[in-house]
Amino acid sequence: MRKEYDFSKAQRGPAVASPGKTRITIMLDDDLIEFFRAKAEAQGTGYQTMINATLRATVAEEQGHSSENEPLTVAALRRVLREELHS
């Protein structure tokens, strides 16, 4: 990097927001976090994504929606194949 750059008047830009998502702070039990982290690592996905999917499935079940009516996604197909291969 050049020594002539002057960052003394630089400002940090705003964080890029994810559309349709809200950042929150939530306290979860350690054993739950470890469960989702281990499961996510085994499936090759993020543990926060798994927690979100679990919450979404619970809400859908509570509202009387069945996940069987939803279109099959690549992520869902991979999950099912991994479950079948491991059993």
Instruction: Please give the model's pTM, rounded to 2 decimal places.
Output: 0.56
9, part of any domain: no
| Domain that residue 38 falls in | 30-86
Q: Determine how many CB atoms are found less than 10 A away from the CB of residue 58.
A: 10
Q: Judge whether 53 lies within some domain.
A: yes
Residue 10 belongs to a domain: no
Answer yes or no: is pLDDT of 2 > 80: no
For residue 58, the one-letter residue type is T
14-72 pLDDT, tens digit each: 777 778 888 899 999 999 999 999 999 999 999 999 999 999 988 988 888 665 666 77
Evaluate the CA torsion angle 49, 51, 56, 57 in order and state its sign.
positive
74 within domain boundaries:
yes
Structurally, how many domains does the chain consist of?
A: 1
Residue 12 lies in a domain: no
Angle between helices 47-62 and 30-43 (to 10 degrees): 100
Q: Which residues of 63-81 are buried (b: 16+ CB within 10 A; e: fewer)?
A: eeeeeeeeeeeeeeeebee
Whether residue 20 lies inside any domain: the answer is no
